[in-house]
Structure 1
Amino acid sequence: MEKKRPQTARQYVLGMLRAEILRGEHCAGARLRQEEVASRLGVSTTPVREAFRDLLAEGLIGLDTHRGVLVRGLTLADVRELYELRIVLEPMLAVRALSLTDTTQLDAAEAIHLRLCGEKDPERWASLNVAFHQALNVAAADGRMSRIVAGLAEAAGSYVSLSMHATPELMALNNGDHAELLRLYRLRDEDGVAAKTAAHLAQTLSAIERDVETRVVVLAEAG
């Protein structure tokens, strides 16, 4: 059995706070105090400060001049914008990568796919999911489009974890999509890869939308 890699203090704090926000334990507008979080989680303030930076980049918290760090909560506007961009750009990147990808790279992606199929924890599944798509598209990793797509995927990671918590069967559905993507990559089917990539993203977006609406999260538009 594969041993779990030890987490850094930053990763531990980030994972805990992200999960708490996703579960609705901190309502939108709630203030997060650095010292209180550090004391509660048994760490110094340094990893808390670093985790706040990560959460800010993910859009789960915001900064107020007078009140400090505030929970933003989840908004459908945010997630829809992320996925609208991904659905346009990721099929284009996949087709570009397809012409450059070799068997070794596809074998690496398949190895990650096998780990995904055996993973039940939503947080770890979401992390492996990012690694799987990066492995598929690594041959086109040097361009600007790849960097933009990577940033969008990272920002969407929290929403992916949320959807997996709410709809565990979605992991199996997505694992099936991954298997089909690998098949299409090996066939060098550009149209199939593009269509499946877009459908795969749309499926996750639909699951996230259903869950956010069910939770009755505050869905005010940013700004």
Structure 2
Amino acid sequence: MVQTATARVHDVVKQRILNGHYQADEYLRETSVANELNVSRTPVREALRELVSEGWLEAIPHRGSRVVAWTAKDAREVFELRLVLEPLAVRLASTQISKPCFTYLETLATQMESLTEEVNTNAESRNGIASLNHEFHRTLILASNNQRLANLLENVVRTSVIHRNFGNYDLANLRRSMRHHREILEAIAAGSPEWAENVMRAHLLAAQALHVPHTNTPSG
């Protein structure tokens, strides 16, 4: 019973970190979380310990558990790895993706496109896009049928600010991101792994430009 409660607390707290309900550097108190979720402190304590081990929280002596802050260095390192691994995953997925999986990706893309057109009128739309975007990328990666690659990518991006919100994206940025999703699907449908791989790389480079501070000044 406690294990089930622990899993539920883990999932709720993780989702609240993802959608920005819990902010970077915010302390999570066992008593407060237990009261919020109407559970005892024991499953909360276990769930927070798991989230620390997974990198979502950090344990601060005598203070408790704090939401991990995301630095420019963290973002740069994540993108360096994603730019190598994720296009490869998409290339592999392109050659063996099932029809139901492809249809699911199309549905996710359509839902994100609809929410994108609401960003200036619906404050919750960005959180919805972030959740759907995470599912879109996760599904594509799993379709590679390479579990080691999927595990590596999950470890790389699990605390990434990209999955927390789309606050850095204006409407034009979001529409470009949505077009990339569609083009990846078009490339898969056309049977071109190279096309799909290159669009994913462009997709990640565009995101990198928004999330990683640019330190090099062009010469000339």
Q: TM-score, normalised by structure 1?
A: 0.72
Provide the C-alpha distance between the structure 1 equivalents of 2:53 and 2:190, rounded to a whole number of angstroms.
Answer: 37
| Aligned residues of 2:10 and 2:48 also touching (Cα < 8 A) | no
Which residue number in structure 1 is paired with residue 52 of structure 2?
56
Which residue number in structure 2 is paired with residue 167 of structure 1?
169
Which stretch of the first structure deviates more once superposed, 184-193 or 43-52?
Answer: 43-52
SS of 1:69's equivalent? Answer: strand
| Aligned residues of 1:13 and 1:48 also touching (Cα < 8 A) | no
One-letter amino acid of the counterpart of residue 145, structure 2 = A
| Aligned residues of 1:184 and 1:192 also touching (Cα < 8 A) | yes
Decide whether aligned partners of structure 1 residues 9 and 58 sit closer, same or farther in structure 2, where only a CA change above 3 A counts: closer
Runs of 5+ unmatched residues, structure 2: 1-7, 119-124, 214-220
Which residue number in structure 2 is paired with residue 141 of structure 1?
145
Deviations 1:133-170 (A, max 9, x none): 233344323431122123334332x43333x1342423
Shift of 1:21: 4.4
SS of 1:155's equivalent? Answer: coil
| Aligned residues of 1:57 and 1:155 also touching (Cα < 8 A) | no
One-letter amino acid of the counterpart of residue 205, structure 2 = A
Which residue number in structure 2 is paired with residue 93 of structure 1?
89
Provide the C-alpha distance between the structure 2 equivalents of 1:17 and 1:104, rounded to a whole number of angstroms.
Answer: 30
Shift of 1:60: 4.4
Provide the C-alpha distance between the structure 2 equivalents of 1:17 and 1:125, rounded to a whole number of angstroms.
Answer: 15
Alignment of 1:49-88 (within 5 A): 49=45, 52-53=48-49, 55-56=51-52, 59-88=55-84
Which residue number in structure 2 is paired with residue 200 of structure 1?
203
One-letter amino acid of the counterpart of residue 89, structure 2 = L
Deviations 1:98-133 (A, max 9, x none): 221244432221122112212352222222112222
The answer to whether structure 1 residue 150 and structure 2 residue 154 are counterparts is yes
| Aligned residues of 1:106 and 1:135 also touching (Cα < 8 A) | no
SS of 2:97's equivalent? Answer: coil
Deviations 1:67-123 (A, max 9, x none): 332343221111221121111011111112222124443222112211221235222
Q: TM-score, normalised by structure 2?
A: 0.73
Identify which of 21, 29, 38 aligns with 1:43: 38
Decide whether aligned partners of structure 1 residues 17 and 195 sit closer, same or farther in structure 2, where only a CA change above 3 A counts: closer
One-letter amino acid of the counterpart of residue 36, structure 1 = S
| Aligned residues of 1:101 and 1:137 also touching (Cα < 8 A) | no
Higher helix share: 1
